[in-house]
Amino acid sequence: MEKQIVKTVSAIYEAAQSPTSRPLLDVCDKIGGMVNAQTDGLTVINTKTADLTLVESKMEPELLRIYAEEFQHINLIQKHIAGLGPGGRLNRVDFIGDAEFGRSDIYNEFFQKAGIYNFEYRVIATPGDYQAAIEFSRPKGRDNFSTADQDLIDVFVPHLGRAFSIHFNYLPARSHAGVLTEVLDRIPRGVLVVDEARKVLFSNSSGSSILTEGDGIFINRRGGLSARNNADHKRFKAAIAGVFASPGINSGWAATIRLNRGNGKRPLELLIAKCTKGDCDQFGTGEKAIIFVSDPESKRVSVADVLCELYGLTRSEARVASLIVDGMSPAEVSNELCVSENTVKTHLKRIFSKTDTKRQTELAKLVLLGPASLKFDDETNNRKNTPYG
């Protein structure tokens, strides 16, 4: 059992660094299996309104709709658990007896259909006005959770809380930052908002991908950003500290740093600047910094469609323009497209004419500073439709 516990704790922290929350629920499923119970879901409650949101659940959507529409605001159990503090717990039997529970509408219309009779509800984190929790349950006819079961769950609760903080520590801001998130997800470089402890308060989709890859920069088990090797990490910490010690962005001062990676990849390139007062208040109190992360190895999304629409390029011309902007020479483009170099040069003349440019550097500047540089592929739409990412 001890080896299984250690392995599960390790899996919790691995899941925390995923860009989606499903792996975290999958780990909770393993914990549920260890206490012979099902995992009902990873939830968040607004402690002021008692509104509940399911971050992840395997319940039937129709059952969730019934709960949200008919029972969410009249359920005494939910109102009770909304008042629980950090480390709070509730076993159903401690709150409502079997006979009364069995007669209740919420049992007959929701819990029974969901296969829930006895359950253990555990608060794992309380960011701001929110309460994050996990619930394990058993159907009617099965014994209630024993002391040993409860003790085993207790072992994992602190780790789940830290994992939640790593994965969702920008929780209160996300419900108000949908538009901001959509905009920043279109930028083809990582954008991270961090506090002085280097904890990530916000990440766009490119930033999440870089952190998930964990090559060059990653989130450590304490929830802070770390660089790949000790030398880089010392320089990175010093750069962050210097930014927070500076008078602010109005001083014109920011830090730039390159972080090495393995496998012969070119280093990540970071620009770090402090947020001006009030600019990032939606991410909580205290000073914050923005980190822009550029990955020279990343593949830029196709811009051919945008170039065709904007400048009236043909598909062939747009492909040539895309490769030129990516840094290829006409000779390299001819090899890539299996056409003669003269054909490429002919395309280039037409491209220059249609885009009102005279040389390759002007064309690259036009594209990279224009709408063709933004991301409008499926990757930007892969976020879950929840306030949490």
320-357 pLDDT, tens digit each:
988 888 788 999 999 999 999 999 999 999 999 999 99
More confident call, 323 vs 177: 323
Q: What are φ and ψ of residue 15, in 5° steps?
A: -65, -30
Whether 167 contacts 17, CB under 8 Å:
yes
- Co-location of 144 and 274 in the same domain: no
Within a domain: 112: yes
> What average pLDDT does the segment 172-190 reach?
63
- Co-location of 190 and 149 in the same domain: no
Query: Could you say which of 267, 298, 329 is where a domain stops?
Result: 298
- Segment (H or E) for 118: strand 118-125
Report the percentage of the chain scoring pLDDT > 70.
85
> What average pLDDT does the segment 152-181 reach?
71
pLDDT score of 374: 66
Query: Could you say which of 168, 201, 232 is where a domain stops?
Result: 168
- Co-location of 309 and 267 in the same domain: no
Alpha-carbon distance of 90 to 77, in angstroms, equals: 9
More confident call, 58 vs 119: 119
pLDDT score of 380: 38
> What average pLDDT does the segment 255-269 reach?
89
Q: Domain with 335 in it: what CATH number?
A: 1.10.10.10
- Co-location of 155 and 179 in the same domain: no
pLDDT score of 296: 84
- Co-location of 199 and 327 in the same domain: no
> What average pLDDT does the segment 223-247 reach?
88
What pLDDT, in 10s, does the model give residues 214-234?
Answer: 889 988 877 789 998 899 999
Q: Domain with 39 in it: what CATH number?
A: 3.30.450.80
Query: Could you say which of 298, 330, 358 is where a domain stops?
Result: 298
How does the average pLDDT of the chain come out, rounded? 82
Instruction: Record the pTM.
Output: 0.49
Give residue 299's pLDDT band: very low, low, confident or very high (50, 70, 90).
Answer: low
pLDDT score of 379: 40
- Co-location of 245 and 310 in the same domain: no
Q: Domain with 212 in it: what CATH number?
A: 3.30.450.20
Q: Is the pLDDT of residue 153 over 90?
A: yes
- Co-location of 215 and 124 in the same domain: no
* Residue reference for tokens 């919420």: 106
Q: Is the pLDDT of residue 384 over 50?
A: no
Within a domain: 386: no
pLDDT score of 377: 47
Within a domain: 282: yes
Within a domain: 334: yes
pLDDT score of 322: 85
Q: Is the pLDDT of residue 292 over 50?
A: yes
pLDDT score of 279: 53
Q: Is the pLDDT of residue 49 over 70?
A: yes
Q: Is the pLDDT of residue 250 over 80?
A: no
pLDDT score of 383: 38
* Residue reference for tokens 């007896």: 97
- Co-location of 230 and 288 in the same domain: yes
More confident call, 60 vs 387: 60
Within a domain: 48: yes
Q: Is the pLDDT of residue 172 over 50?
A: no
Within a domain: 389: no
- Co-location of 38 and 149 in the same domain: yes
pLDDT score of 253: 61
Give residue 78's pLDDT band: very low, low, confident or very high (50, 70, 90).
Answer: confident
What pLDDT, in 10s, does the model give residues 6-41?
Answer: 999 999 988 887 767 788 889 999 999 999 999 988
- Co-location of 59 and 160 in the same domain: yes
* Residue reference for tokens 């902007």: 325
Report the number of distinct structural domains present in the chain.
3
pLDDT score of 211: 85
Q: Best-predicted range by mean pLDDT among 59-73, 133-147, 361-375? A: 133-147
Within a domain: 8: yes
- Co-location of 259 and 180 in the same domain: yes
Query: What long-range pairs does 147-153 form, CB within 8 A, spacing at least 24?
Result: 149/35, 149/36, 149/37, 149/120, 150/89, 150/91, 150/120, 152/34, 152/35, 153/31, 153/35, 153/120, 153/122
Whether 377 contacts 304, CB under 8 Å:
no
Q: Best-predicted range by mean pLDDT among 180-194, 323-337, 371-385? A: 323-337
Q: Which domain holds residue 315?
A: 304-373
pLDDT score of 169: 55
> What average pLDDT does the segment 264-280 reach?
80
Which residue type does 348 have? Answer: L
More confident call, 38 vs 376: 38
Give residue 174's pLDDT band: very low, low, confident or very high (50, 70, 90).
Answer: very low
- Co-location of 182 and 68 in the same domain: no
Within a domain: 381: no
